[in-house]
């Protein structure tokens, strides 16, 4: 069993964010995906980081909660 909890100031805005953008936490081509997301106005906390396990970047939801997008090595 797993649970996810995050704080939000506006539930309707958060629902719209998570349903309209259809986020996929594990992606096949992260470097190709990020620019398109930035064009849509999505905010990132950092640039893509690469390591032995793969690539990752942190996206922020409308309330500043981090979402890690990950591409396995």
* Domain boundaries, given as residue ranges, for the chain: 25-72
Reported CATH class of domain 25-72: alpha beta
Torsion sign (Cα): 42, 27, 45, 67 = positive
Q: What are phi and psi of 35, to 5 degrees?
A: -60, -40
pLDDT tens-place string over residues 28-68: 899 998 999 999 999 999 999 999 999 999 999 889 888 88
The pTM of this model reads 0.71
Residue 1 has pLDDT above 60, yes or no: no
CB-count burial class (<10 Å; 0-12, 13-18, 19+) for 32: exposed
What pLDDT score was predicted for residue 68?
Answer: 87
CA angle 28, 33, 37 (to 5 degrees): 145
């Amino acid at each position: 069993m797993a649970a996810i909890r995050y704080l939000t100031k506006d539930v309707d805005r958060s629902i719209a964010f998570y349903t309209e953008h259809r986020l996929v936490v594990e992606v096949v081509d992260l470097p190709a995906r990020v620019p398109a997301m930035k064009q849509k106005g999505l905010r990132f906390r950092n640039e893509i980081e690469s390591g032995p396990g793969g690539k990752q970047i942190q996206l922020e939801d409308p309330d500043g909660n981090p979402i890690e997008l990950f591409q396995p090595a």
